[in-house]
């Protein structure tokens, strides 16, 4: 199939802090100093000296490597004093998307996903690089994108269609289908500013999907909708791709990405770390996620007020059977004053980043001691887990978050099936976990 989106060496640079001043003379002085290669005359006292006397850190040791310009001949050099005021949201990004392909773009918060979509949607321009797009683009980047709050839902549908270059007759032919899909029939003649965020997203997606753009771009905004509507959206995007149109989908829900996308691009700190199949993209994303969460081993860098911290957490065994009781032992140390009444919580997360179960101690009437350091354990038997490795996130909470330890430990489940009979893979591959069930056949 032909290539409909070609991204070559794309970079986007932002200047942090003040861009313009209240007086024209200040802007002229800054411009004249920059033209002569002199320091910014309006910078804070001491900022220039610190930057001039300090060499930029190597990229591998920087806390955020996006603050250092990438080594690309297409990108202009910035003097050392501008490092603290610069942010590279994207750095030398290249990939291509073919017609009818559903591409998932995944990455941690701040990886540059939204910036990339804004450039593809022509909301903003790149600092360097090139994007070639073949076809009309409809994008859903945030709640209310493309909607005028003072216009009604009906008027906004016609407005969006006109922006996409459609005639009034073409929009009218699809109007009823759009309204039915969005489930806002009762409010279609109400100004959009009166809509809830969920209603706005439903209508916006219905408009974007039904007005037949060649390329549909959807950001994480679907998370605002309820579960039933998210399923409808994923089904509609599958239909759109089946009609030969292209979909670019951004989500932190790895299950949705796996079900919908046939290929993926993984971003980390503005750069592409992997581009290929969906399965390998998710594995690469989880690897990046696990690498980032290793910093949480140092409790001084973990979120929370810090009066108490998890100092250790480990599964009681190397492997568990799928139906066996799992046990995780932990230790909590006191580092500050008493934090009041505290409770514990844990999230069991699978390899796709999906939270399978939440174990909250309040549901069992268990509260943590705040007198001194203590140890404890978490035990659970259901659900029956499928073979693989799972991670456990631990939380200690009081009136505020005291400690949050992501990826505190791993739980490995053996490949032995918890059932009495073995069958082919088609009887096992559906669902996130195994069920403890029984079939009963009554004979007449």
What Rg, from alpha-carbon coordinates, does the chain have?
26
* Cβ atoms of 206 and 199 closer than 8 Å: no
pLDDT bracket for residue 60 (50, 70, 90)? very low
**Could you tell me which of 427, 433, 439, 422 has the C-alpha nearest to residue 322?**
433
pLDDT at 66: 40
Buried b (16+ CB within 10 A) or exposed e, 388-424: eebbbbbbbbbeeebbbbbbbbebebeeebeeeeeee
pLDDT digits (tens, 9 = 90+) for 64-105: 434 434 444 444 443 434 444 678 899 999 999 998 899 999
pLDDT at 224: 61
Residue 46 region, left (φ>0) first, then alpha (ψ -120 to 50), else beta?
left
pLDDT at 56: 44
pLDDT at 68: 38
Q: Is the pLDDT assigned to residue 192 strictly greater than 70?
A: yes
* Cβ atoms of 328 and 377 closer than 8 Å: yes
- The half-sphere exposure of 254 on its side-chain side, counting CA atoms within 13 A, is 22
* Cβ atoms of 67 and 84 closer than 8 Å: yes
92-291 and 298-413 have identical folds: no
pLDDT digits (tens, 9 = 90+) for 280-299: 888 788 777 655 555 446 77
DSSP-derived secondary structure letter, 59: G
Q: What angle do CA 47, 53, 54 make, to 5 degrees?
A: 90
Buried b (16+ CB within 10 A) or exposed e, 12-30: bbeeeeeeeeeeeeeeeeb
CATH of the structural domain 92-291, one choice from 3.40.50.970, 3.40.50.300, 3.40.50.261, 3.10.450.50: 3.40.50.300
Within 84-152, residue ranges assigned H as helices are 113-120
| Beta bridge partner(s), residue 152 | 191
Within 107-236, strands assigned E span 128-133, 137-140, 215-218
Count of Cβ atoms closer than 10 Å to residue 143 Cβ: 17
Within 78-133, residue ranges assigned H as helices are 113-120
Spell out the domain ranges in the chain.
Answer: 15-55+62-88, 92-291, 298-413
Q: Is the pLDDT assigned to residue 141 strictly greater than 90?
A: no
What class does CATH assign to 298-413? mainly beta
pLDDT digits (tens, 9 = 90+) for 202-225: 888 888 778 778 888 888 766 666
Strand order in the sheet with 374-380: 308-315, 326-334, 374-380
pLDDT at 55: 42
Q: What average pLDDT does the chain have? A: 80
Q: What angle do CA 377, 341, 349 make, to 5 degrees?
A: 40
* Cβ atoms of 249 and 280 closer than 8 Å: no
**Could you tell me which of 108, 113, 118 has the C-alpha nearest to residue 140?**
118
Query: DSSP of 209-234, one letter per residue?
Result: HHS--SEEEE-GGGGGS-HHHHHHHH
pLDDT digits (tens, 9 = 90+) for 373-418: 889 999 998 889 988 889 999 999 988 889 999 889 988 888 777 8
**Could you tell me which of 250, 14, 278 has the C-alpha nearest to residue 142?**
250
* Cβ atoms of 219 and 117 closer than 8 Å: yes
pLDDT at 96: 93
Considering only residues 72 and 126, tell me which one the structure prediction assigns the higher pLDDT: 126
**Could you tell me which of 243, 225, 273 has the C-alpha nearest to residue 91?**
273
| Beta bridge partner(s), residue 250 | 105
Residue 309 Cα distances to 3, 344, 366, angstroms: 52, 12, 18
pLDDT at 145: 65
* Cβ atoms of 363 and 314 closer than 8 Å: no
pLDDT digits (tens, 9 = 90+) for 174-187: 899 889 888 888 99
What H or E segment, with its residue span, contains residue 314?
strand 308-315
């Amino acid at each position: 199939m032909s290539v409909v989106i070609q991204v070559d060496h794309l970079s986007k640079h932002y200047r942090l802090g003040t861009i313009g001043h209240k007086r024209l003379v200040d802007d002229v002085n800054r411009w004249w100093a920059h033209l002569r290669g002199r320091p910014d005359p309006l910078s804070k006292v001491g900022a220039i000296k610190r930057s001039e006397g300090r060499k930029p850190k190597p990229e591998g040791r920087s806390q955020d490597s996006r603050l250092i310009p990438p080594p690309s001949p297409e990108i202009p050099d910035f003097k050392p004093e501008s490092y603290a005021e610069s942010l590279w949201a994207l750095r030398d990004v290249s990939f291509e998307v073919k017609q009818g392909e559903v591409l998932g773009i995944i990455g941690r918060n701040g990886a540059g996903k939204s910036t990339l979509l804004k450039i593809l949607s022509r909301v903003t321009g790149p600092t360097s690089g090139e994007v070639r797009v073949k076809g009309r683009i409809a994008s859903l980047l945030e709640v209310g994108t493309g909607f005028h709050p003072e216009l009604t839902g009906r008027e906004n549908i016609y407005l969006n269609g006109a922006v996409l270059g459609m005639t009034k007759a073409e929009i009218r032919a699809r109007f009823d289908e759009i309204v039915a899909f969005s489930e806002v029939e009762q409010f279609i003649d109400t100004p959009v500013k009166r809509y809830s965020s969920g209603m706005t997203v439903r209508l916006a997606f219905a408009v974007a999907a039904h007005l037949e753009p060649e390329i549909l771009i959807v950001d994480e905004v679907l998370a605002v909708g309820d579960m039933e509507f998210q399923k409808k959206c994923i089904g509609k995007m599958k239909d759109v791709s089946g009609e030969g149109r292209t979909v670019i989908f951004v989500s932190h829900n790895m299950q949705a990405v796996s079900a919908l996308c046939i290929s993926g691009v993984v971003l980390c700190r503005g750069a592409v770390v992997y581009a290929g199949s969906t399965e390998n993209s998710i594995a690469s994303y989880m690897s990046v996620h696990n690498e980032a969460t290793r910093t949480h081993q140092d409790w001084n860098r973990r979120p929370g007020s810090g009066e108490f911290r998890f100092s250790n957490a480990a599964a009681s065994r190397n492997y568990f059977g799928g139906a066996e009781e799992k046990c995780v032992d932990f230790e909590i140390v006191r580092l500050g004053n008493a934090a009041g009444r505290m409770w514990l919580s844990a999230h069991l997360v699978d390899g796709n980043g999906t939270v399978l179960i939440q174990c909250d101690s309040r549901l069992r009437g268990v509260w943590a001691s705040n007198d001194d350091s203590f140890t404890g354990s978490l035990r659970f038997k259901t659900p029956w887990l499928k073979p693989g490795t799972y991670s456990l996130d631990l939380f200690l909470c009081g009136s505020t978050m005291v400690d949050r330890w992501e990826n505190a430990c791993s739980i490995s489940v053996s490949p032995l099936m918890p059932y009495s009979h073995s069958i082919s893979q088609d009887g096992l591959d559906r669902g996130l976990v195994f069920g403890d069930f029984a079939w009963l056949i009554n004979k007449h």
